[in-house]
Structure 1
Amino acid sequence: MTQGVVMKSLHVAFAAAALFAAGSALADPPAHAGPPAHAKAYGHHKGEKLSHDHWGERVDYREHHLSPPPSGHEWRRVDNDYVLISVNTGLISSVISIGN
């Protein structure tokens, strides 16, 4: 092989390696990586289960301009969030942050 062909082959190999590395960096994080970086450090998340002693105070959805809760759900103020929670399971269906 000539030197030009060898150099071109090396460039192609380096370019392929760079593209592979870039694609790996953009891939989804592993399941054990925790919440995404844009998620609140503190707060509540849809699908989270709250124990009854952490439910906070019940709020009037009309007074706070929230959507009417579906049957079996209640709006609660928990820390700096309004959470829509299932009365039966304690699972959060929706979260609205109200700030600090």
Structure 2
Amino acid sequence: MKLFTKTLLAAVALSFAAAPMAQAQTYGHDRKPGYSSSWKKHDANKRHHWRQGERFSDWKRRPAVRDYHRYGLRKPARGQQWVKVDNSYLLMSIATGIILGVNAAR
């Protein structure tokens, strides 16, 4: 019984010692939503002016705009779809990721 008690106490003591080390290695990835540092604020102030013919590689991560008539957008042709990026609607070529049209959001 003494060996079990000593082993249990040693395991508890070790867990208390190891917990701060495990938390120290998160590198700030567990920040609360809404937290922003100065470099993020600087990037947020930059606006991108989208142009036809420009490639937008990250467009697949954004949901397609299905109710395009609601936003005053024309029906996309086959192989095209509208996506909202920042405060603009971009008509994208599904195959290439090239911007075919740009409309400002209302």
- Give unmatched runs, 5+ long, in structure 1: 1-40
C-alpha separation in 2, matches of 1:55 and 1:64: 20
1:64 lines up with 2:71 in the alignment: yes
Give runs of aligned pairs for residues 27-46 of structure 1, distance below 5 A: 42-46=48-52
Greater fraction helix: 2
C-alpha separation in 2, matches of 1:56 and 1:68: 18
C-alpha separation in 2, matches of 1:95 and 1:55: 18
Question: What percentage of aligned pairs have identical amino acids?
Answer: 34
SS at match of 2:70: coil
Is the 8 Å Cα contact of residues 83 and 96 (structure 1) preserved in structure 2?
yes
- Give unmatched runs, 5+ long, in structure 2: 1-46
1:43 Cα deviation from its structure 2 partner: 2.4
Is the 8 Å Cα contact of residues 71 and 105 (structure 2) preserved in structure 1?
no
Is the 8 Å Cα contact of residues 74 and 85 (structure 1) preserved in structure 2?
yes
| Matched residues, number | 59
SS at match of 1:74: strand
| Alignment counterpart, residue 84 of structure 2, candidates 70, 77, 82 | 77
1:54 Cα deviation from its structure 2 partner: 6.4
Q: Give 4+ residue runs of structure 1 displaced > 2 Å after superposition.
A: 52-57
Question: Cα RMSD between the aligned structures?
Answer: 2.0
